[in-house]
Each structure stands twice: as structure tokens, then as C-alpha cells.
Amino acid sequence: MNKMLGLVIIFFLFSCTNKEKTVETKTINRVLPDLKPDRYNVAFLIMTGTYNTEYTAPYDIFQHTQYRKGIKAMNTFTVANTLQPITTFEGLRILSDFDYTKDSLPQIDILVVPSAEHHLDSDLKDSVMINFVKKVDAEAQFVTSHCDGAFVLAKAGLLDNVMSTTFPGDIGTYKKMFPQLDVKDSVFFVHDGKYITSAGGAKSFEAALYLCEILYGKEIADSLAKGLVIDWNLEDVPRVTPQ
């Protein structure tokens, strides 16, 4: 009897401990990003299944602009359709800064669409997300995608009159799904108008550095690349860019 009583007490204490942890988690205060004035606001559209590299590569490049003097640096932040933790394809858990379905968002100057696991299927049926991309595009200075993020831009109708590219292994699917597009293959990225689409993966670094070279010049882009130990020479990069 004493043994049974002891087990009941242990179970009760364990349950109480778990309850306390659950309540504790729910009381965490939301902290909004510190968006400095006179900077470019760069929003990263993330969702369940986002691939780490296509998100973190451009984020690293753009976030480091704040440490360069004499330029209009970048505020970097994330937007999603929830404030609950998002799990990337590789298992990284991220808390988004803004919920685009509910929050009042800051002006977005540059939209970054990293690739996600379902960008070839169910994500393209998300009309709220697609309409959000269209709305941001109306005022953004640049809209960029990495890997299969191009499928989202194409679904929103943003790439109909420009050249674009996507993940090399999905070029065939991209052409079949969007036959009206002018698709370029065997390049790291394509820049046409205000749209920059990249092959993704590690080549997401090159696309981000390219945008920085457009905005800030070669010296700043070289400095950003050096800080991340990246060999950067635009002339060596397979690309399609304005003449």
C-alpha cells in the first residue's frame, strides 16, 4: 500500500511540474524587432517547411549591412501566417516577428521568399499567402526568391513579363506549371526589373550579394562577402542581369 501511495504522489508531482512549465511558456512576452529609421525594410516570408539555407543565407548577408558605415543599411525581419513556432524542413524552430494575417506591418521595401517544402503543391493553393505577396509587390522596390520560392512569385503572376529561374532540379516542373514564363537555366540567379530569382541552396549567398552590389556598390559587397569568408566576384558568377 505504501509503495502504491508513493507512486501516486510522484505522478501527481510530475503532473504539476509539467503544468507549471506549460503555463510559464504561455506567459512569454512578444518582442518586436527594432526597426531603425532610414533603412531598407527587408521581410522574409517563412512558413512550415521553409529550407534553412534559402532563409539564412540572404538573412546573413542583409543583416550584416548594419555594420557597414555610410550606407542605407537593412532592417531584417520575418513574416508568417502565425506567431506560433514555425518548424523548417531541417527542424529549426523559428518565431516569426509579424503575422501578416493580423498585424499592422511596416512598409516592406524588399521581400525575400525562401523556398519551402510545399512550394510546388499545397502552398500554391494558399490564397491568403499569395494575395499577401501580390500586395507587398505593389510597393516593394525588390522582390526576390530562392530555389522554389519562384513558384510562389509565378503563382502570384509577378513573373509573367520577366525572365526568371528556380532550383535546377525543378526547372522542368516550373516550365510545365507556368508555360508562359521566360525561364533561364544553368545560372545562379536572374535579375529582371525588380525581381531577382535564384537557383537557391548555397547560391542564395550570391544572389543576396548581387543585390547588395546593386544597392551599395562593389566595395561594400566585397566587404560583406569577406566577413562571411565567401569568394565573391560578380564577373565569375553565371547569371542573367540587365545589360
pLDDT at 185 over 80: yes
Cα distances from 116 to residues 56, 164, 185, in angstroms, run 13, 18, 20
Lowest mean pLDDT among 11-15, 142-146, 215-219, 224-228: 11-15
> For the residues 227-234, what does the mean pLDDT come to?
96
pLDDT at 77 over 70: yes
Amino acid at site 57: A
Give me the pLDDT at residue 186, please. Answer: 96
Higher pLDDT, 150 or 7: 150
User: pLDDT tens across 27-47, in order?
Assistant: 457 889 999 999 999 999 999
- Degrees (nearest 5) of the Cα angle 112, 116, 118? 135
Please, what are the domains in the chain?
Answer: 36-240 (3.40.50.880)
Amino acid at site 82: T
> For the residues 3-26, what does the mean pLDDT come to?
44
pLDDT at 48 over 70: yes
User: pLDDT tens across 146-181, in order?
Assistant: 999 999 999 999 999 999 999 999 999 999 999 999
Which is it for strands 182-183 and 163-164: parallel, antiparallel or unpaired?
parallel
Give me the pLDDT at residue 29, please. Answer: 78
Give me the pLDDT at residue 30, please. Answer: 85
| CA–CA distance, 37 with 83 (Å, rounded to integer) | 24
> For the residues 3-11, what does the mean pLDDT come to?
45
pLDDT at 187 over 60: yes
% the chain with pLDDT above 90:
87
pLDDT at 9 over 90: no
Give me the pLDDT at residue 197, please. Answer: 98
User: pLDDT tens across 106-152, in order?
Assistant: 999 999 999 999 999 999 999 999 999 999 999 999 999 999 999 99
Show the 3-state SS of the chain: CHHHHHHHHHHHHHHHHHHHHHHHHHCCCCCCCCCCCCCEEEEEECCCCECHHHHHHHHHHHHHHHHCCCCCCEEEEEEECCCCCEECCCCCEECCCEECCCCCCCCCCEEEECCECCCCCHHHHCHHHHHHHHHHHCCCCEEEEECCHHHHHHHCCCCCCCEECCCHHHHHHHHHHCCCCEECCCCCEEEECCEEEECCCCHHHHHHHHHHHHHHCHHHHHHHHHHCCCCCCHHHCCEECCC
Amino acid at site 136: V
Count of CB atoms within 10 A of residue 198's CB? 33
User: pLDDT tens across 95-112, in order?
Assistant: 999 999 999 999 999 999
Grid look-up 524542413 returns 89
Give me the pLDDT at residue 28, please. Answer: 58
Give me the pLDDT at residue 1, please. Answer: 46
pLDDT at 12 over 60: no
> Taking the chain, what is the end-to-end CA distance rounded to the nearest angstrom?
86
Cα distances from 39 to residues 20, 71, 74, 109, in angstroms, run 42, 9, 5, 9
Q: DSSP string spanning 106-143?
A: PP-SEEEE--BTTTTTGGGG-HHHHHHHHHHHTT-SEE
Amino acid at site 79: V
Three-class DSSP category at 59: helix
